[in-house]
Chains A and B, each alone.
Chain A
Amino acid sequence: MAEPLAVQAPAKSPALTDALVRVEDVVKHFPARLGASVKAVDGVTFQIRKGECLGLVGESGCGKSTLGRLIAQLLPLTSGHVYFKDIDLTRLHGEKLRRQRREFQMIFQDPFASLDPRMTVGDIIGEPIDNFGVARGRLRNERVQDLLRVVGLNPNFNNRYPHEFSGGQRQRIGVARALSVQPSLIICDEPISALDVSIQGQIINLLQDLQERFNLTYLFIAHDLAVVRHISHRVMVMYLGKVVEVADSRRIYSDPRHPYTAALLSAIPVPDPKVERQRRLVHLEGEIPSPINPPSGCRFHTRCPIAQAVCSEVDPLLEEKMPSHWSACHFADRVGSVAPWARTPA
């Protein structure tokens, strides 16, 4: 288990040579009332490395789920490009795009809404297999049963319906469906948020095992930095449609370089009364502004504890502040002063 992985080689520049997905200046504006628009995703550029798990974190309304759907081509982009294995998905249509879809699958948050209640589990998992002609007849059914086994379910459950399963089991079915066409990328959109604590660990561990076994690449979307820590190699934080920080998950938790990341980290409750007593909450002023009318300059400046005059005027670029540690903050080196880590290593 503790063997170093080749895929872990840190890259020094944003142009990763081993990128599976390249997202370039992606913008998604949804039309709103009176000709205004909701700037859900507003100019986002990043890569997902082959074989890594990239955690994507932010609070509700930051655009993280929209971004996931844009990459999966479930929503049309307003502008920008999504390259998958150097193919520009935004230029593909119809059958050509459909062919590509086999390569990137999704797992959804709500295990109740994401499975058709009138289909058997076998048909739910078999549908993508049929769609892409992966296997037929007896081979297809064997494959469905294999998949059930792989995700830890009884292979003879293929004739049952979703309502016969618990939330955690349904999420396993969702995982099996995503795996059925041997994708290289799986976009996991809050896959454990709806599950009980004791079940969350089961699904996280399953996803980690599958990643190793099938050499999968994950984009793991969550609102919770704690969950992401256990599974991600790198973590990306979004705020109001922009990426504010990307770093190795080792770095981002110990040495965040954006005040918003620091605030998020300080707010997560830790199941340990001793740690809780030392908590120093980074207070954020007010509320998340409207994505229809985002603040000028840095979007976080209205709530930032270390904002200066320049922050309301100049939008900071996402820059590499330290090797493979990117932050969009004019005062990234001062974030340490607000970071809450009185938490001493035990």
Chain B
Amino acid sequence: MTAPLLEVKDLHTQFFTDDGVVHAVDGISFDLHEGESLGIVGESGSGKSMTALSIMGLVPEPGRVTRGEIRLRGHDMVRMRPEDVREIRGRDIAMIFQDPLSSLNPVLKNGFQIEEAMLAHRHLSRKQTGARAVELLKKVRVPAPAERVRDYPHQLSGGMRQRTMIAMGLANEPAILIADEPTTALDVTVQAQILELLRDLNQELNTSIIMITHNLGVVAGLCSRVIVMYAGQIVEQGPVEEIFGRPQHPYTWALLRSVPRVDAIQHERLRSIEGLPPDLISPPTGCRFHPRCPFRVDRCFRDEPPLETTSAGHTAACWVTMNRAYEEMGAGELLDVRPGAASGVHGAGARQVG
């Protein structure tokens, strides 16, 4: 395999608050290859968004990257001068956010906002950028793009605004597009269209995508590789089929079983994860998931498990791993029916449980 486009090594991002130091991102490492579509999943507070902001050099006060490297094509962005990072941001790495309304400037026309991204990094005339803005809107499938560039953000629907944001992100043909919950604020039918667009852009333009989301379904459809984060750390990563088909970390396993599925057996009970995510100022000792883990052993209370390879390209940070949990600890019985496993939408064998 060629050298990775982006290498994150032992990244620590901390927030220095009055209550103490919040370890938002706590020593994570991963690679992103050219043209890859990588999903980072986790719940609120897992550190997934802070990972993205750290890569962008946009960690808000009172936080900062305290340790580690973020290498883009070999160059460490953490140790770069701020003006050099600014050059990279928007040109090589672009980011789109959850709420397109608050990310767009309400008093500037859509077209100009897309042009601005180009003007910041390239020597182009307004005529050239204007034409390209229309082209970009066309590419993200905005109808009547020549008219939309003259509109203001409030004149667009949520889906169209997010498309405008994506057009802006693509303005300088970045190598990496980071999407932080880009569809969370949108209706499902619109979400499906945006995801389809991102999938096509990933394939057509060979843009690498980092998709940050809490929605496992979104990742399953878009990404080839998945990172699962819990309490600021990576607990598992691997190819999408592995993560969904043979999850090895109990958190991933439990999360998958707790997702409401449209193809589930009707009235099947959801299997929730008991307890709450930990406090990131003083996280639990040992494995951070141990207070909520059904398969913990003594060691989990004391020692922090490292990420270890469980199969080709698949790593998990767990002393037990689900393979062992199935064999020795009766995980299969706890499971009884994997949500959706025996159903399909036809609801074969549907049970009515009140």
Please classify how large the interface on chain A is, using the bins under 10, 10 to 19, 20 to 34, 35 or more.
Answer: 35 or more
- Flag A212-228 by CB within 8 Å of B: 1 or 0 each: 10000000000111110
Shortest C-beta distance, B352 to chain A (Å), equals 6
User: Is A344 at the interface (CB under 8 A from chain B)?
Assistant: yes
B345 to A265, Cβ gap below 8 A? yes
Complex Cα gap A219–B344 (Å) = 26
Counting CB contacts under 8 A, is B200 at the interface?
no
In angstroms, Cα B343 to Cα A254, docked, is 10
> What is the CA–CA distance of A7 and B353 in the complex, to the nearest angstrom?
12
**Other A-B pairs, 15, CB within 8 Å; known A201-B258, A271-B259:** A197-B214, A197-B216, A201-B270, A201-B272, A201-B273, A204-B272, A205-B270, A211-B354, A225-B262, A267-B189, A268-B217, A270-B263, A271-B220, A283-B193, A341-B346
Interfacial chain B residues near A231, Cβ < 8 Å: 267
Residue of B nearest to A58 (CB): B187
Interface pair B263/A2, CB less than 8 Å apart: no
Contact in complex: B254, A198 (CB < 8 Å): yes
Q: Tell me whether A249 and B266 are in contact in the complex, defined as CB-CB below 8 angstroms, given that A2-B353, A279-B221 are known contacts.
A: yes
> Does chain B have a CB within 8 A of A60?
yes
Give the distance in Å from the alpha carbon of A272 to the alpha carbon of B245 in the complex.
Answer: 8
Contact B345–A343 (Cβ < 8 Å): yes
Q: Give Cα A202–Cα B155 distance, bound, in whole angstroms.
A: 39
B341 CB within 8 Å of chain A: yes
- On whether the beta carbons of B220 and A270 are closer than 8 Å, the reply is yes
Residues 62-87 of A contacting B (Cβ, < 8 Å): none
Residues of chain A from 220 to 241 with CB closer than 8 A to chain B in the complex: 223-227, 229-231
CB proximity to B under 8 Å, residues A309-346: 341, 343-346
A284 CB within 8 Å of chain B: yes
A residues in contact with B216, CB < 8 Å: 197, 271
Closest to A203 in B: B272
A205-B272, A287-B157 are known contacts. Are A276 and B352 too (CB-CB below 8 A)? no
Whether B192 is near chain A, meaning CB under 8 Å from some CB there, is yes
A272–B159 touching, CB < 8 Å: no
Residues of chain B with a CB closer than 8 A to A287's CB: 157, 159-160
Q: Contact between B192 and A267 (Cβ–Cβ < 8 Å)? A: yes
Distance, CA A287 to CA B188, complexed state (A): 13
Query: Residues of A contacting B192 with CB < 8 Å?
Result: 266-267, 269, 281
Residues in B neighbouring A46, C-beta threshold 8 A = none
Contact of A267 among B188, B214, B255, B340 (CB under 8 A): B188
CB-based contact B340/A229 at 8 Å: no
Contact with A254, one of B43, B214, B273, B347 (Cβ below 8 angstroms): B347
Do A205 and B269 touch across chains, with their CB atoms under 8 A apart?
Answer: yes
Contact B270 A212 (CB under 8 A): no
Say yes or no for A35: interface residue by CB 8 A criterion: no
Contact B345 A254 (CB under 8 A): yes
B258, A197: Cβ atoms closer than 8 Å: yes
Q: How far is the CA of A113 from the CA of B354 in the complex (A)?
A: 31
Minimal beta-carbon separation of A285 from chain B (angstroms): 10
Looking at the complex, which one of B189, B217, B267, B350 makes contact with A271 (CB distance below 8 Å)? Answer: B217
Contact partner of A346 among B272, B341, B354, CB < 8 A? B341
Contact of B347 (CB < 8 Å), options: A253, A264, A269: A253
Q: Is A273 an interface residue (CB 8 A)?
A: yes
Query: DSSP class of B's interface residues: helix, strand, loop or mixed?
Result: loop
Q: Provide a sorted-by-A list of 8 A–B residue pairs whose CB atoms are within 8 angstroms.
A: A204-B272, A208-B269, A230-B264, A270-B261, A271-B259, A273-B244, A276-B221, A343-B344
Question: Are A229's CB and B264's CB within 8 A?
Answer: yes
When distances are taken between beta carbons in the complex, the residues of chain B under 8 Å from A224 are 188, 260
Q: How far is the CA of A346 from the CA of B261 in the complex (A)?
A: 14
- Whole-angstrom CA separation of A200 from B216 in the bound complex: 14
Interfacial chain A residues near B344, Cβ < 8 Å:
341, 343-346
Report which of B187, B259, B268 forms a contact with A60, defined as CB distance below 8 A: B187
Of listed B217, B264, B348, residue having the most chain A CB within 10 A: B217
**Contact of A94 with B by CB under 8 A:** no
Given A2-B351, A271-B261, A273-B220; A253-B276 close (CB under 8 Å) = no
- Are A168 and B342 in contact (CB-based, < 8 A)? no
Structural contact, A275 and B263, CB atoms closer than 8 A:
yes
Q: Which residue of A lies closest to B187 (CB)?
A: A59
B238 to chain A, nearest CB (A): 12
B168, CB-defined interface residue at 8 Å: no
Cβ–Cβ contact B354 & A212, under 8 A: yes
Q: Decide: A253 near B188, CB < 8 A? Known: A197-B258, A211-B354, A269-B218.
A: no
A residues near B350, Cβ cutoff 8 Å: 250
> Are B188 and A345 in touch, CB under 8 angstroms?
no
Q: Is B44 an interface residue (CB 8 A)?
A: yes
Quick one: given A199-B272, A271-B217, are A226 and B187 in contact (CB under 8 Å)? no
Bound state CA distance, A249 and B82, in angstroms? 56
Whole-angstrom CA separation of A275 from B216 in the bound complex: 13
